Amino acid sequence: MWRFHLARNPLTTMLVVFSIVIFFLSLILRLWLLDAWLPHYFIDENDVVEPSIVVFGGGIEPGGYGYGPLYSYLLALLHWVVSFFSRQSFVDYSINIFFDPTSYYILARTFNMTIHLATAGIVFYLAKLVFGWRTALVALPLLVFPFADLLTNYTVRVDSLLALLATATLLAAIKGYETEDLKWYLFAGVFFGLSVATKPLPAILILPTLALAHLLSQSRTLRSDESLKSNLHPKLLGKLVFKSLISKNLWYAGLAAFLAHTIANPYSLIKIKHFYWSQIRILSSEGGRGYGLGIDLTRYFGDLGVVFVIAGAASVFYILGYALVRRDARVAILLSYPVIYFLAFAFGSSREYWYIPIIFLIAVFLSKAIIDFADAFLNKDNMKSYFVFAALGAVLIQPVTILVSDAAFRQQGEQAHASLSSKKWIESHAPSGSRILIYGMAGYLPRVIDQRADVQAVFGEYFMYGRTKHQHYVDLYHVAHDTYLSMYQPTYLVTHINSNCLKDHDPKEDDLRQALDKNHYDLLVTYCDVQGLVAHNGEPIFFPYKPRRGGFNLWIYESPAPNRSMTNH
């Protein structure tokens, strides 16, 4: 058996040094990407950050009930700390969230990155607990590399907090299995309750794993009963289920989960009907959104690298065989969660960042497979060491390249981002008061500012998901809009037609045609193919955008007879 000696094995030192190098290299690049494309935040990112300002101002009731509010509550606490030490009032601290939100998103993205590092630390301990030091040390370079950040595209996602809490729940469940100590059952209950307060439906996917851990723990005392000769004896199974259900540890864990969830998301009970129907709507709609099937592993090649995805998937099957052969309950418990989680989204529409809760565990399984392969096929320790580093290099080389290329793309500045470069062109060439028709989904278009507060509120998507129920936030917006106007910043008369025009049939094409026929616009801004409708306008101004995970090229069409001359560009 090839062993690590923590004090004197050169491989141990090399792995630690390699992990430190990977950590700081990726950290530098990750920090460089913290402000990527701000103030043009990514779609849905504002649905975490903006509610945190609502909470910071005292509005703890969520605007919607699809997500849990815990992430926004934690961000609000960070806002309070920053505002306290900067001695700013709510209005002074929060007013820029609408028109210059860069600092808020940098704070949130830093917090999100920290969550990933904390999750890596928990999974490192899990790897050591279940597989030993060798697997933990080999996994360390993969755990400190920002695979999760690649999945989020460096943005803020509630799935990151779910990963941390679910991993902590899993650790407590395995410790509870080992010790049957009430303390670990309580920890598992608390972390599970907080997970549900973060993202309810994916959070409950850990319940089968918790049930498995509890059943295996309770089964140990029954195996000593010699009158029950078979592990599958019906009487044994009946006694196991009954003993598990009456266990005080189970009931205390359930109470802890209920209390933790109620404290972190009280309105799930206060507005239980809204909470319930929100989950039903998510179940009925998310799977048909057209993001691609979760089981299509090629979707993740561009984020995680071909080797990591294929070898990681193969390692799951290897660990399954390992658990069956060794009859290792801890491995079975650890493996059950990522398998159930993946299968839950495998045959429906899913987004890449939904898999953050299991990506760290896949890295551990892959590391265990690498070690066991070296043990099985290589004799000399130095050859095994070379193989480990070659395997880690093969896994990491493409993700490192992706991270470096993203940082290089970021360095090109606003000219590399169509929405930012087109916004700069508009502000440089279109006088204030110009009539601008925006066609497409607002999140992918330049965020020019309308001089009418009510129109800008809709186009800016500031009050989505019920944020208008908090009057202090509405008042803050109007103060911010008045302040923006008083600073004589460029403002326009914006008409927005919200169209998902990337489908086979553009559902809003007739609306666009009518708008162009009935009204005069100085500019038409879109990423949609509308050349046939505006061919008489001549060649549009083109703004390319080609990031790693797709993008939207933009075109600006000038009016053939504009009210104001904007042709000198």
Domain-embedded: residue 241: yes
Average pLDDT over residues 264-292: 79
Confidence band (pLDDT; 50, 70, 90) for 551?
confident
Are 78 and 160 part of one and the same domain?
yes
Sequential DSSP letters for 150-195: HHHTTS--HHHHHHHHHHHHHHHHHHHHHH--HHHHHHHHHHHHHH
Model confidence band, residue 164 (pLDDT cutoffs 50, 70, 90): very high
* 345 burial type by CB count under 10 A (0-12 exposed, 13-18 middle, 19+ buried): buried
* CA separation for the pair 295, 291 (Å, rounded): 12
| The overall pTM is greater than 0.75 | yes
User: Would you state the pLDDT for residue 3?
Assistant: 54
Torsion-angle region of residue 564: left (phi > 0), alpha (psi -120 to 50) or beta?
Answer: beta
Report the length, in residues, of the chain.
569
Higher per-residue pLDDT: 231 or 212: 212
How wide is the angle at C-alpha 17 spanned by C-alphas 13 and 20, nearest 5°? 145
User: Would you say residue 172 lies in a domain?
Assistant: yes
Q: Give tens-digit pLDDT for 145-163.
A: 999 999 998 899 999 999 9
Q: Which residues does 185 contact at the CB level (< 8 Å), separation at least 6? A: 172, 176, 249, 250, 252, 253, 256
* Residue in the block written with tokens 């101004």: 541
For residue 508, being part of any structural domain is answered with: yes
Instruction: Give mean pLDDT, residues 263-291.
Output: 79
Number of separate domains in the chain: 2
Whether 473 is in a domain gets the answer no
Each residue of 92-140: pLDDT tens digit? 999 999 998 999 999 999 999 999 999 999 999 999 999 999 999 999 9
The H-or-E segment that residue 495 falls in is: strand 493-497
Indicate if 121 and 170 belong to the same structural domain: yes
421 touches 543 (CB < 8 A): yes
On whether the CB atoms of residues 219 and 286 are closer than 8 A, the answer is: no
Question: Is the pLDDT assigned to residue 221 strictly greater than 70?
Answer: no
pLDDT (mean) for 248-274: 91
Examine the domain organization and report whether 376 and 267 are in the same domain. yes
Checking if the pLDDT of 564 tops 50, the result is no
For 373-425, the pLDDT digits (tens) are: 998 888 887 888 889 999 999 999 999 999 998 888 887 777 778 888 999 99
Does residue 144 sit in the same domain as residue 20?
A: yes
Task: Kindly state whether residues 351 and 434 are assigned to the same domain.
Answer: no
- Residue 42 CB coordination number (10 Å): 18
| 379 and 422 both lie in a single domain | no
Same domain, 381 and 504: no
- Whether residue 300 is found in the same domain as residue 424: no
What is the percent of the chain where pLDDT is above 70? 91
Domain contains 124: yes
The pLDDT value recorded for residue 535 is 66
Give the range among 234-238, 312-316, 376-380, 509-513 with minimum mean pLDDT: 234-238
Q: Judge whether residue 514 has pLDDT over 80.
A: yes
Query: Do the bridges between strand 435-439 and strand 493-497 make them parallel or antiparallel, or are there none, so unpaired?
Result: parallel
Is residue 569 domain-resident? Answer: no
* pLDDT, greater one: 560 or 276: 276
pLDDT of residue 511: 84
77 and 212 inside one domain: yes
CA–CA distance, 163 with 166 (Å, rounded to integer): 5
Tell me which residue of 141, 119, 145, 153 sits closest to 26, measured CA to CA: 145
pLDDT digits (tens, 9 = 90+) for 420-472: 899 999 999 999 999 999 998 888 889 999 999 999 988 888 888 777 888 89
State the DSSP code for 223: T
Asked whether residue 506 carries a pLDDT value surpassing 90, the answer given is no
| Same structural domain, 339 and 391 | yes
Pick the more confident residue, 220 or 32.
32
Q: In terms of domains, do 326 and 197 share one? A: yes
Q: Are 49 and 75 in contact (CB under 8 A)?
A: yes
Angle at the Cα of 152 (from 148 to 155), degrees rounded to 5? 120
Residue span of the structural domain in which 530 resides: 418-448+490-558
Q: Would the pLDDT of 190 be above 50?
A: yes
For 331-378, the pLDDT digits (tens) are 999 999 999 999 998 888 888 889 999 999 999 999 999 999 998 888
Tens digits of residue pLDDT in 304-340: 999 999 999 999 999 999 999 998 999 999 999 999 9
In a domain, 462, yes or no: no
pLDDT tops 90 at residue 2: no
Question: Tokens 């928990």 map to which residue?
Answer: 122
Report the pLDDT value the prediction gives residue 112, as an integer from 0 to 100: 96
pLDDT, greater one: 357 or 4: 357
Alpha-carbon gap, residue 204 to 207, rounded angstroms: 5
pLDDT, tens digit, 9 for 90 and up, residues 44-74? 888 899 999 999 988 888 877 778 899 999 9
- The sign one gets for the Cα dihedral 281, 286, 288, 293 is negative
Please provide the average confidence, as pLDDT, over all residues in the chain: 86
Tell me, yes or no, whether 455 lies in a domain. no
Q: 59 with 154, same domain? A: yes
**Closest among 253, 67, 65 to 175, alpha carbons compared:** 253
